[in-house]
Structure 1
Amino acid sequence: MSTEFVNLTPENIASEHLCCIIRSKKAHPGIDAKRQWLSGRLKEGHVFRKLNAKATVFIEYAPLEKAWVPIIGDNYYYVYCLWVSGNDKGKGYGKSLMEYCLADAREKGKSGICMLGAKKQKHWLSDQSFARKFGFEVVDVTENGYELLALSLDGTKPQFSQNIKRGEIESRELIIYYDMQCPFVLQNVEMIKRYCEMNGVPASFIQVDTLEKAKELPCVFNNWGVFYKGKFETVNLLPDISVLKRILKK
């Protein structure tokens, strides 16, 4: 078991691998998009810490004030991703990464740490049952089953922005909000665009490219959000066309 971790910095970001698509043997446009997005965030206090090995073992978090999510609160960290996959599961890596984030929060005098969850675990969100073992609790909820989990260090609590609580918009067409925080986003957008164009499905793809746009979103968001017929559908990326077709049948 390797115990050496490395944090991405402006100096090493071009040479270090990004864990999410470590298994890909082909050139992947999402990786370059992710690097570019990260380059702008590192100077804002964003942390990407990973195992110093060819593995999918990492945590990614940022000061909540600078996190591209419609969540408000003072002096918190927001965890975008905490991921350990494949043969690296069960070796204590997740515990080490979470403990690092907690130690960082305490050292910097943070009020706590928060993350997006749901009543039913979502595929593209970090394992909330794991977070609960560290003392994370539900501090806010939406009408469509999403939860804000937080570990408070001083008794204060973050909350969802009020404009996301109901998860409804006026437009009836397929609406997808996205940013480049996840390397899989770009290929997902292109796949859905192709399908919609070939099948005459009215759709709008709205890139969230500033912090201000992210904070004003009408839905929960970790890097992705889907609306159809005015209703919020999911924070999950759509891994294949069959998932999109199920949404469009509603």
Structure 2
Amino acid sequence: MKMNIINVDNRNIDTEHICCAITDKKGECCISSKKAWLKGCYNDGLMFKKLDVRGKVFVEYIPAENAWCPIIAEEYMFINCFWVSGKFKGQGYANKLLEECISDAKLKGKKGLAVLSAKKKMPFLSDPKYLKYKGFEVCDTAKPYFELLYLPFEKNTEKPKFKECCKDGITDKKGIVLYYSNQCPHTEKYAPLIAEIAKAKGINFALLKYQTKDEAQNAPSPFTTYSLFYEGEFVTNEILSDSKFIKFLEGKGL
């Protein structure tokens, strides 16, 4: 397959397919929420590059100063999401997308790339094994498993770091708290869904949505797309289905 990489921007976002995991009419609100979020970030320098196919083969990045992530990474480019899945794996598409990102960042005078990952491969986070193979290094960590990786373009470049607000994986709010945003199309479906389940069970549950980058940049967890806390402590960044959330509640005796 020819590596035809296209930009998804204001000119074509309303017609381009951005997530093959959501295809039916029931997912229209999820897709529209993600597209609205992208539109709101374009003026902040966000780029969404994808293979010209109907599938999850894309990289999304933004100047780190405007990233919806509590980091300090001046003059870096921050990768929001980097995904190559299914039949598209192992064909060089990840390398091509990363090369596009690096080239664009250099052209814009950035010091390097930064990306949120984890000690091991985790759902909805970029693969640390691949990134480290491509030269990324760990520059900071946050509890319980987050790693901030960076790829500097020159030696002795100042390293990005997490803000203190997200280092310990805690919040001052009790009960079950879910912080989320529309960076992923799945959250608009599953975040309200588990809130409804908690309400039906009479559980103390708070659903807190990041509406601005400033809110996200002062979050208690690095992954502002979706972070679930229980009694003040971080639990998971995985976007839970109704069945997984019910299993979590059962494990807590709720």
TM-score normalized by structure 2? 0.93
Q: Is the 8 A contact 1:72 1:158 kept in 2?
A: yes
Match for residue 48 of structure 2? 48
Q: Which structure 2 residue ranges, 5 or more long, are not aligned? A: none
After superposition, where does 1:73-222 map in structure 2 within 5 Å? Answer: 73-154=73-154, 155-222=157-224
Match for residue 26 of structure 1? 25
What SS is found at the alignment partner of 1:30?
A: helix
Shift of 1:97: 0.2
Shift of 1:207: 0.7
Shift of 1:247: 5.6
Q: Which amino acid aligns with 2:120?
A: K
What SS is found at the alignment partner of 2:44?
A: coil
- Give a deviation string over 1:53-109, Cα, whole Å, max 9, x none: 212111111100011011111101111111111111111111100011111111111
Q: Is the 8 A contact 2:7 2:49 kept in 1?
A: yes
- Residue 59, structure 1, aligned to residue 59, structure 2: yes
Percent identity at matched positions?
36
Q: 1:216 to 1:244 in 2, by over 3 A?
A: farther
Shift of 1:243: 4.3
Between the aligned partners of 1:239 and 1:111, the Cα distance in structure 2 is 39
- Residue 228, structure 1, aligned to residue 226, structure 2: no
Between the aligned partners of 2:117 and 2:246, the Cα distance in structure 1 is 22
Shift of 1:196: 0.6
Q: Which amino acid aligns with 2:68?
A: W
Q: Is the 8 A contact 2:119 2:128 kept in 1?
A: no
Q: Is the 8 A contact 1:19 1:58 kept in 2?
A: no
Between the aligned partners of 1:2 and 1:244, the Cα distance in structure 2 is 44
Between the aligned partners of 1:43 and 1:21, the Cα distance in structure 2 is 27
What SS is found at the alignment partner of 2:79?
A: strand
Between the aligned partners of 2:137 and 2:68, the Cα distance in structure 1 is 21
Between the aligned partners of 1:187 and 1:66, the Cα distance in structure 2 is 25
What SS is found at the alignment partner of 2:148?
A: strand
What SS is found at the alignment partner of 1:55?
A: coil
Q: Is the 8 A contact 2:179 2:224 kept in 1?
A: no
Moved over 4 A (4+): none
- Give a deviation string over 1:139-177, Cα, whole Å, max 9, x none: 001232211111112322110001111111222211111
What SS is found at the alignment partner of 1:21?
A: coil
Q: Is the 8 A contact 2:114 2:148 kept in 1?
A: yes
Between the aligned partners of 2:147 and 2:12, the Cα distance in structure 1 is 35
Q: Is the 8 A contact 1:30 1:184 kept in 2?
A: yes
TM-score normalized by structure 1? 0.94
Between the aligned partners of 1:202 and 1:228, the Cα distance in structure 2 is 10
Q: Which amino acid aligns with 1:60?
A: E
Between the aligned partners of 2:109 and 2:185, the Cα distance in structure 1 is 31
Between the aligned partners of 2:74 and 2:232, the Cα distance in structure 1 is 31
- Give a deviation string over 1:188-217, Cα, whole Å, max 9, x none: 112201211111111111110111101111
What SS is found at the alignment partner of 2:241?
A: coil
Q: Which structure 1 residue ranges, 5 or more long, are not aligned? A: none
Shift of 1:242: 2.6
Between the aligned partners of 2:230 and 2:121, the Cα distance in structure 1 is 21
What SS is found at the alignment partner of 2:25?
A: coil
RMSD between superposed Cα atoms in Å:
1.5
- Residue 17, structure 1, aligned to residue 17, structure 2: yes
Shift of 1:244: 4.9
Between the aligned partners of 1:104 and 1:202, the Cα distance in structure 2 is 46
Shift of 1:132: 1.0
